[in-house]
Amino acid sequence: MKKYNYNSGPAILPETVLEQAAQAVIDFNGLGLSILEIGHRTEWFINVLEEASSLVKELLQLDDSFEVLFLQGGATTQFMQVPMNLLGESDTASYCDNGIWGSKAIKEAKLFGNVHIACSSKDRGHAYIPRELTVPQHSKYLHFTSNNTVEGSQWHFIPEANVPLVADMSSDIFSRELPFDKFSLIYAGAQKNAGAAGVTIVIVKKDILGKIGRAIPSILDYRNHIEAKSLLNTPPVFSIYVSMLTMRWIKQEGGLTEMERRAQQRSNILYETLDTLNVFEGKVDKQDRSLMNATFTAKTPELEKLFLEECNANGMVGVKGHRTVGGLRVSMYNAMPVSTVEVFCDLLKTFDRKHS
């Protein structure tokens, strides 16, 4: 049976990327060696690393004041590594509390300095994005999660602040055009829009570093990774290679302009369908709905369970909501064809007619 992948991550990858990566596991570039076997300091891999870094800058239209790093530990490690590098013990950083990942980032930042909550959507279960922020001018930076994978909300504007901006873009990087040069640091786990699990992309403006007195462990100091060109320790070679292939694909398909057009198209089809049904209801305010992760519920737990059984019977995987919030979720990342959304909407309509 054909499977339809709606997983929130690790997520769907372009078919051509899967084919190229599979071939490289057997024979990388005709070398007679697997990509899993080549040395990380060989010219073969250095070329991969340099192309991947160059593609990040090209796609995001960044100049050489930014450095691109390929690290490990996922965005969860960045919750700790960002304040360790940017926040002194007596300093204050501002954070937006708009979902589970933002809350986790706040918890880690409090270990290194003072945290000011610039805005919060806790009062309504993170079903919206606040429009009013308070950011003290002495804040070392303002941190926000651009897309909330679990709750299904997304920032469709950049929060205003006269302090450096730091963003967790794990689930919507490379999906839309933004003035990325306004940010001082961006980080993203690759397993949504940027490749396979195992590598984390960190984009940092060099002038934000080296301004605290704290001693930082060598492996956690961004400056050391910059100096070593992401080779301070053995990097996740295969994951970086898949990220490079994925970014090549994005560029060949039309770049972020085309990715954003497709994201709008997919999400419009799904949300317009949901809004006409009786059995299902969206969880997030319409103006703040995510283009990547649509979250919704059925009228009763029994109907929800029955719908998930229907999804399973039709080869649709990854529809169950995150374990912390329940409900239903459909993730629509860059590599998802429009037809995959249309098939899901057909099932929604059929189920709704049967159970309304």
pLDDT per position as a tens digit, 156-171:
999 989 999 999 999 9
Question: Which one, of 249, 257, 260, 232, lies nearest residue 52 by Cα?
Answer: 249
Q: Are strands 200-205 and 66-71 parallel, antiparallel or unpaired?
A: antiparallel
Question: Looking at the domain covering 15-253, what would its CATH class be?
Answer: alpha beta
| Angle made by CA atoms 203, 7, 289, in degrees to the nearest 5 | 70
- Output the CA–CA distances (angstroms, integers) from residue 77 to 104, 108, 118, in the order listed: 11, 9, 22
**pTM, full prediction:** 0.97
Catalytic residue status for 101? yes
Backbone angles phi, psi at 135, to 5 degrees: -130, 105
| Angle made by CA atoms 102, 107, 111, in degrees to the nearest 5 | 135
Cα 5 to Cα 75: distance, rounded to the nearest angstrom: 23
pLDDT at 24 over 90: yes
Strands (E), the chain: 4-5, 66-71, 92-97, 114-120, 142-145, 147-148, 153-154, 165-168, 185-189, 200-205, 280-282, 293-298, 316-317, 328-331
Strands (E), 147-270: 147-148, 153-154, 165-168, 185-189, 200-205
Contacts for 333 with CB less than 8 Å, ≥ 6 apart: 11, 12, 171, 175, 192, 193, 292
Listed by start position, the domains of the chain span: 4-12+254-355, 15-253
| pLDDT band (50, 70, 90) for residue 173 | very high
Catalytic residue status for 44? no
Active-site entry in 91, 97, 155, 168 = 168
pLDDT tens for residues 220-236? 999 999 999 999 999 99
Same fold flag, 4-12+254-355 and 15-253 = no
Task: Name the burial class of residue 37, with classes exposed (0-12), middle (13-18) and buried (19+) by CB atoms within 10 angstroms of its CB.
Answer: exposed
pLDDT tens for residues 263-277? 999 999 999 999 999
Q: Tell me how far apart the terminal alpha carbons of the chain are, to the nearest angstrom.
A: 29
With a pLDDT cut of 70, the percent of the chain lying above it is: 100
Question: Which one, of 347, 351, 339, 329, lies nearest residue 7 by Cα?
Answer: 329
Instruction: Tell me the average pLDDT across 346-354.
Output: 98
Contact 152, 283 (CB under 8 A): yes
pLDDT tens for residues 29-69? 999 999 999 999 999 999 999 999 999 999 999 999 999 99
pLDDT at site 2: 79
Give Rg (Cα) of the chain.
21
Catalytic residue status for 27? no
Q: Is the peptide bond before 14 cis (omega within 30 degrees of 0)?
A: no
CATH fold for domain 4-12+254-355: Aspartate Aminotransferase, domain 1 (3.90.1150)
Active-site entry in 97, 172, 192, 288 = 192
Q: Please name the residue that has the structure tokens 């320790």.
A: 233
